Chain A
Amino acid sequence: MAAGGERIPGTPRYRHHQLRNPGTEPFLPNFLLKEWIVGAVFLLAFILWVWFNPVDLGPRANPDDTSFIPVPDWYFLFLYQILKYYPGQYIVFGTVLVPLVATLLLLFTPWLDVSKTRHPYKRPLATGAMVLTTFLVIWLTNEAAVQHRAEVAAASGQGQLSAGLVSLPKIPASQIHLTATDMPGYQIFEQNCSGCHGKSAEGGFGPPIYAIGKYWDENKLKSFITQGSPPKMPPKGGLSSESDVEKVAQWLAQQKGS
């Protein structure tokens, strides 16, 4: 064996006297093994999350489709939200001044909080400022997410024609990514609906419905399919059973297109 046995407790060569301070332990292998266990549990939880939350790929980028409501990834939402409070000529506060001041405060924290004491209760100004900032960032993030959802819901009205139908832009089938294709509704769609709506729901004789779930929920879809849209679409869309309609509606509700 290569060198190392003298640091493993319980082995004959373990040399306890090397530990100068009681309570401490060597980094390798003692502490690292414990960290390893924490890391393993953490990774397992991570992999389980990844496994059961597959990532959606939205429709291919289309610079001509200006109806898409843009939103940054969630960890930029707080910055995005700040912009909304400085409209018009004051936008520079949101784009430059507020982020710049926050960045400088964060970067120079050690020179702003110069007292020797470290306990958070003994330096209420620093602690209070950080607690407040944390809550503010969380609140701004949530506010931006709520407002974005409302915007998307409101815009679903713009995507509608006079008869209350949704009109999605025509895009090539190869640029559509249908999700949740393991649901039973997908098979029913393939067998019964794709004749008119296209294999990828890109539209044909019937309109494109590849992202219908973005505008209509399951109940709306179910009632629409049950009713049909004569003369082109028969009631129940030609399906025989109520439960098939339900399954298709469930699957279509997942097709949010992004």
Chain B
Amino acid sequence: MLKKAYDWIDERLNVTPLWRDVADHEVPAHVNPAVKMSAFVYCFGGLTFLVITTQILSGMFLAMYYTPDINNAWYSVKYIDDQVLLGQVVRGMHFWGASLVIVMMFLHMLRVFFTGAYKAPRELNWVVGVLIFFVVLAFGFTGYLLPWDQKAYWATAVGSQIAGSIPWIGPYIQTLLLGSHTVGALTLTRFFAIHVFFLPAALLVLLALHFIMIRAQHIAGPL
């Protein structure tokens, strides 16, 4: 039954080559921790992706309860913590996961750096990786404001002041960040939109490029 359904789809769309390419590509021994334990350093990239996946999932559930306006944001987070079933756990996942993404990504970057995996012909994938790093930092900066508690508010206030102190373009950057002259209602909606729409879009495109390039160029050989 399952096979018939698969064949029916395959006849029309020819999907076999698509997943075959992913499934059959050979993973070299030097990146396989089952062959050599020390190869676990090659897992950091995959684990970063795993944490990013949990971030997307926990974020989707948080968005069911979170309210991005200055009157209700804090209360909605308090509601998630105190009332929602497992709310504190899901918020905990998203909070700690944010730090974990940074840590795993940093470890992944060190692995790529010290094994010289960014060298020709893989220069572009390194650049895409660095861009992903900056997108993740932007996730951290915008996400930090959303609970709308004291530390969130003042961290953003100072962050925007620092941006505003840049010569010539500083004030423009500050207005672009805050949507106003001070951290307020417009800043919160703006940061929310950036955090849940703009940045995920950018991240998914960059991740797709990252993975497609790995498939096209293969993993760098053993040292």
Residues of A within 8 A of B (CB): 1-4, 7, 18-21, 23-31, 34-35, 38-39, 42-43, 46-47, 49-51, 53-55, 57-63, 65, 68-76, 83, 91-92, 95-96, 103, 106-107, 109-111, 113-114, 116-120, 123, 126-127, 130, 134, 174-175, 177, 257-258
Contact = CB atoms under 8 A, between A and B. Distances in A.
Interface in B155-177: 155, 157-159, 162-163, 165-167
8 contacts: A29-B23, A38-B33, A50-B89, A72-B159, A95-B166, A96-B167, A109-B113, A110-B122
Interface stretch (B40-48, B189-197, B198-206): B40-48
A186 B152 CA distance: 27
B130 interface: yes
B188 to A, nearest CB: 9
- Among A34, A55, A257, the most chain B Cβ lie within 10 Å of the Cβ of A55
Given A23-B35, A113-B116, 11 more contacts: A3-B16, A28-B24, A50-B92, A58-B151, A68-B150, A71-B151, A75-B102, A76-B159, A83-B162, A96-B166, A118-B119
A130 B110 contact: yes
Contact of A61 (B50, B118, B148): B148
A2 B140 CA distance: 43
A20 to B, nearest CB: 7
A109 B92 contact: no
A197 B171 CA distance: 44
Nearest to A73: B144
Contacts of B102: 75
B24 A24 contact: no
Contacts of A96: 166-167
Given A21-B28, A24-B29, A177-B78, A92 B149 contact: no
Contacts of A63: 153, 182-184
